[in-house]
Structure 1
């Protein structure tokens, strides 16, 4: 099964917007490289243009966005993995601040992304908050 994705580039350290189509192993490889750097951002989708899941992470915490269309964005409610009231994670190339209610442990967020890639479903990932 193939997945379409874009992510922070190993060569530049900046978000590389052009999407690539690969198998899951290449996405996992990129994620593991980003994890070793301590931060990163990725976007994934399956066959259709939507939904798209994004994950920005830094220092072991992550925030997951869901785009169900070009006009509709949601945040996955987290498990309050942040010690502080808010946390910054990269969104594309810019740091963005999120309240603790949207922050996940990195492993939990990554599992949600992998589950989405496997199933194409977002309903079983948790509760979504529409922006």
Structure 2
């Protein structure tokens, strides 16, 4: 199993950043391989993504806590992956987004550059006005 932890600072309100991250509809905007994501009820979600040259559909569970600005997920398939995201206040202003991901060896191939790219896209979207935090 591999574990990654990456962070970025975003020049935006931490509550607004977490609200944006908590909205599954925004996921394709900053995770390049994701085509769509939807709630199935309760904590279950479905994600459609391009992986290994194919479009794949997978289910996972997702929990969010706006009070602590944390979210956690875990995949429900043969390629296990789990993670957490934390949004904290950054001094003197802004938000610090920390992403922790654990995955099996197969799911980890090429994962770190994808995570770095997702955080960079998220920061650009939120700072450029291309995304509208709640």
TM-score by length of structure 2 reads 0.31
Q: Between Structure 1 and Structure 2, whose CA radius of gyration is higher? A: 2
TM-score by length of structure 1 reads 0.32
Considering Cα pairs closer than 8 Å and 6+ residues apart, tell me whether 1 or 2 has the greater RCO: 2
